[in-house]
């Protein structure tokens, strides 16, 4: 995974976040106990210390972190929002 700049900082914050919902805590414990990196037909994965659900990075229930991610992508041309 090649990530630079602001995205790299966000990924590190996601990895370090202690706030997770009960389902994710249960899934990660189950995966560690079974010593696997893929669970439930690849629905859940652990890759480079990130929890993935359906091949997307799981963002913990941390309002500050989620808001930071929204602001990072909200005004980009690729997002289609032109700041109106």
Q: Tell me: the pLDDT tens digits for 14-56? A: 888 876 677 787 887 888 888 888 877 778 888 888 888 888 8
The domain in which residue 60 lies consists of 19-79
What pLDDT, on the 0 to 100 scale, is given for residue 75? 63
Say if 50 falls within a structural domain.
yes
Q: 48 or 75, which is more confident?
A: 48
For the CA atoms of the chain, what is the radius of gyration?
15
For residues 59 and 72, is the Cβ–Cβ distance under 8 A?
A: no
The answer to whether residue 11 is domain-embedded is no
pLDDT-derived band at 77 (thresholds 50, 70, 90) equals low
- Name, in order, each residue with C-beta under 8 angstroms of 42's C-beta and a sequence gap of 6 or more: 55
Q: Is residue 1 part of a domain?
A: no
Count structural domains, the chain: 1
> Is residue 6 one of the residues assigned to a domain?
no
């Amino acid at each position: 995974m090649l990530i630079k700049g602001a995205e790299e900082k966000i990924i590190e914050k996601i990895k370090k976040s202690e706030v997770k919902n009960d389902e994710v805590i249960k899934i990660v414990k189950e995966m560690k106990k079974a010593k696997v990196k893929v669970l439930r037909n690849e629905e859940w994965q652990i890759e480079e210390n990130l929890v993935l659900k359906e091949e997307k990075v799981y963002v913990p229930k941390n309002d500050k972190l989620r808001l930071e991610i929204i602001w990072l992508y909200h005004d980009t041309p690729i997002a289609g929002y032109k700041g109106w």
